[in-house]
Amino acid sequence: MTTLLTLVRHGETDWNAQRRIQGSTDIPLNDTGRSQAAATALLLGRRRFDAVVASPLSRAFETGAIIARHLGLPEPATHPGLAERSYGEAEGLTDTEVAQRYPHDDVPGRESRSALLARATETLAEIAVRFDAGSVVVATHGAVIRAVVNAAAPGTADRYTTPIRNGSVHSFRWDPERFRAELVRFDDPLDEVSEQTGDESFAEQNPLERR
């Protein structure tokens, strides 16, 4: 039986707003991030879910908790495999600062993309087995979601052209026979209170709202 996994990126933090790399550093949501999580929860309320599972990092856990409360579900279970990619000594820096300090892209202590994908895949497999044939919200991080999206649909989420925005929703069916996720929807909900919002309203930008 297949399990539907709905991956949600956490809401905004102050480091997101400052364009600083967070990685494994535990930076909490700011007020905009909480509003984004609440807005995404409203949209997800149109679907049925059995559980919420979250990264142990507070920005993702709080996002998951906001969603769980709205859905009438218990507080999220946590799984360390959902934590953000570790960026080693790049954490706390901007992309410009990283390029200046590490011009050859050799950042000490940074988790490789292959290692990230391996643990993300293993983690999603565990969640899919635990909630077999169910529907689960997974509150996690941008690099984790990007790795899973690109594994399911190569080239879909290019780092430079396709941002994984705060509060965005990406839905997958887990295929137990091939041990991989099949991309169902590549959604991009933008909260109208976000500074990055374009001219469209939240409803116009969000495919979930239009369904």
Does residue 25 contact residue 92 with C-beta atoms inside 8 Å?
yes
Backbone angles phi, psi at 74, to 5 degrees: -60, 165
Active-site residue, selected from the candidate residues 62, 84, 91, 111: 84
Active site residue 10: yes
**H/E/C letters for each residue in the chain?**
CCEEEEEEECCCEHHHHCCECCCCCCCCECHHHHHHHHHHHHHHCCCCCCEEEECCCHHHHHHHHHHHHHHCCCCCEECHHHCCCCEHHHCCCEHHHHHHHCCCCCCCCECCHHHHHHHHHHHHHHHHHHCCCCEEEEEECHHHHHHHHHHHCCCCCCCCCCCCCCCCEEEEEEECCCCEEEEEEECCCCCCCCCCCCCCCHHHHCHHHHC
Can you name the residues that pair with 43 across neighbouring β-strands?
A: none
Tell me how far CA of residue 75 lies from CA of 78, 150, 155, in angstroms: 9, 29, 34
Active-site residue, selected from the candidate residues 10, 79, 141, 170: 10
Active site residue 122: no
Active-site residues, by number, are 10, 84
